[in-house]
Chains A and B, each alone.
Chain A
């Protein structure tokens, strides 16, 4: 399926039962030391849809995203209060299986970060840490993930070359391939195309629309057109608060809040 080249908001959303929310947060509040980055976020992310997080820089989009797979654990003196569930299971508790959670909730970062190894090894590493070592299974998965990330044709003859020799856009697609190699249910993408040129961005967007069939995708973006093109739902954040959440059509054409309207029309000051 190929993406509509213009503003028609993402393909129509079939009416889904309301329980189909994979990620649910309630009154989620996050502090870095004394600084409050998120304030009482209550939000539900629908299954097998693309949800965009938009909002001005520093409003807490990345912080929220990193709650979903506990990447905030890496940062000292982060305090999180409230609830956050993935597939109905709490993810903030002390004795959550973080490894298992991250296997189910994959992440693609703003700056592509392939390992300085071969293309093949980048994906094989992801499999190995989850116990998949069987050669045939590894080869099969490497090919499947690279195909899913629309990278296979470009790299199939150079799988043993360093991933760092790929172009920026290819590296980012490799990171996507690596993330989906372990078959997560959810894919978190933090501005995955912000460092890429328009062609590479288009590839990534096409890819997201492809992946939407099998994955729940949450994507942070500063690009309003991108959010309109690829996402079914959009959440607008401002100063750590969730201002508005709805279908992208609604948020972009009939925003309920003044702030949202100002932001999506570019009149934000």
Chain B
């Protein structure tokens, strides 16, 4: 029998497929609505409290009071910890990925163990990273550095930008490794062979041919890492974020104020919730804007790289 397009037994009827389309469509619409509601609430409630003064000054007196609230130190703190984290996580993640996918024997138990570890690391709750940072970086590394340096009072052995950024770097390491490995694997064999057949060493081939080819994919890893780290509060709670600081952080061993943590403080510690609400949403708005713009920069760089890779020299 030719198929005339009529519903027949054993095939989904058009009613069933309409139902399928409706369900999936509804689910998609729901997500869009949720996103719109979240963004809408934040923008609507936060916008009135947003001002140039709010984002460009240091809060002088009460930061729960709309008159004196400001978030410049938090913007600086969050930006700095993200950038510092990127500086730590990218080289380590990329080098690890290169080792795993280019040098390590795929069938060795060691490689297998490393891969399992990376997988597990990705599944650890972020508060655990915070505790790890406190225990390892501050109490172990920091205190021992202080002992070695012989300073009186803790210098390294206390929460700081440095330790918070390192904690975040550990947390985002799996993302960077996985993205980089994927990008390395996607590099055409023909390109490697071309380079090796010319008499290039394996290292030359990786550095000059494979890594440049994989750069957009590696940047994707960076973007994911930044996105994940930007809004995280738990890992920096014990490792660097401060409730209040009168001055901006001057060096990596200083503590810092953070947009995410500050949001939490505004939401839970305010003596007058109603009065604080607009600045709470304004702070969230700033955090979202910061995350988006950091991502936008990375995405633009990647797009540019892709274009250059394809077309120009």
**Which A residues contact B (CB, under 8 angstroms)?**
69, 71, 74, 99-100, 102-103, 106-107, 109, 111, 113-118, 120-121, 125-126, 129-130, 160-162, 164-165, 175, 178-179, 182
Known A-B contacts A116-B310, A121-B313, A162-B312; A126 and B198 likewise in contact (beta carbons under 8 Å): yes
CB distance from B184 to the nearest CB of A (A): 15
Residues of B within 8 A of A182 (CB): 198-199
18 pairs of residues in contact across A and B, judged by CB atoms under 8 Å? A71-B193, A71-B197, A99-B201, A102-B197, A106-B198, A113-B190, A113-B191, A114-B194, A118-B313, A120-B313, A129-B195, A129-B204, A130-B199, A162-B311, A162-B312, A164-B311, A178-B194, A182-B198
In the complex, are the beta carbons of B190 and A111 less than 8 A apart? yes
Check A100/B313 contact, CB under 8 A, given A113-B193, A113-B194, A125-B208. Answer: no
What's the least CB distance linking A32 to chain B, in Å? 16
A126, B198: Cα distance in complex, Å: 6
Rounded to whole angstroms, the CA-CA distance of A116 and B201 in the bound complex is 19
A74 adjacent to B310 (CB under 8 Å): no
Tell me which residues across on chain B come within 8 A of A175, comparing CB atoms: 194
Q: How far is the CA of A99 from the CA of B205 in the complex (A)?
A: 12
Contact residues in A for B196 (Cβ distance below 8 Å)? 71, 74, 102
In the complex, residue of chain B having the shortest beta-carbon distance to the beta carbon of A123: B198
Contact (Cβ within 8 A) A164 B199: no
Shortest A182–chain B CB gap in Å is: 7
Bound complex: CA of A83 vs CA of B120, how far in Å?
48
* 16 further contact pairs, Cβ within 8 A, besides A103-B198, A103-B199, A115-B209: A71-B197, A99-B199, A111-B190, A115-B191, A115-B194, A115-B195, A116-B309, A120-B313, A125-B195, A129-B199, A129-B208, A160-B313, A161-B313, A162-B312, A164-B310, A182-B198
Q: Smallest CB-CB separation from B313: which chain A residue?
A: A118
Considering the complex, give the chain B residue whose CB is closest to the CB of A69. B197
Contact between B197 and A107 (Cβ–Cβ < 8 Å)? yes
Residues of B near A71 (CB, < 8 A) are 193, 196-197
A247 smallest CB distance to B (angstroms)? 29
Q: Could you say which residues of chain B place their CB within 8 Å of the CB of A115?
A: 191, 194-195, 209
CA distance A118 to B309 in the complex (A): 10
- Decide: A117 and B310 in contact? CB cutoff 8 A: no
Are B188 and A113 in contact (CB-based, < 8 A)? yes
Instruction: List the 10 closest A-B pairs by CB distance, nearest first.
Output: A113-B190, A118-B313, A102-B199, A103-B199, A107-B197, A113-B194, A129-B200, A126-B198, A99-B199, A162-B311
Q: Which residues of B contact A160 (CB under 8 A)?
A: 312-313
Closest beta carbon of chain B to A213's beta carbon, Å: 22
- Of the candidates A100, A116, A178, which one forms a contact with B213 in the assembled complex, judged by CB atoms under 8 Å apart? A116
CB-defined contacts of B191 to chain A, threshold 8 Å = 113, 115-116
- Cα of A179 to Cα of B197 in the assembled complex, Å: 8
Shortest CB distance A39–B (Å): 25
Closest Cβ of chain B: how far from A18's Cβ, in Å? 30
Binary interface profile of B, 101-130, with partner A (CB < 8 Å = 1, else 0)? 000000000000000000000000000000
Q: How many whole Å from A106's CB to the nearest CB in chain B?
A: 7
* A100 vs B201: C-alpha distance when bound (angstroms): 10
- Report the separation of the CA atoms of residues A147 and B158 in the bound assembly, to the nearest whole angstrom: 66
- Min CB distance, A77 to chain B, in Å? 11
| Shortest Cβ gap from A170 to chain B (Å) | 16
Residues on B with C-beta less than 8 A from A107 are: 193, 197
Closest B residue to A125 by beta carbon equals: B208
Given A115-B194, A129-B204, is A161 in contact with B312 using a C-beta cutoff of 8 Å? Answer: yes
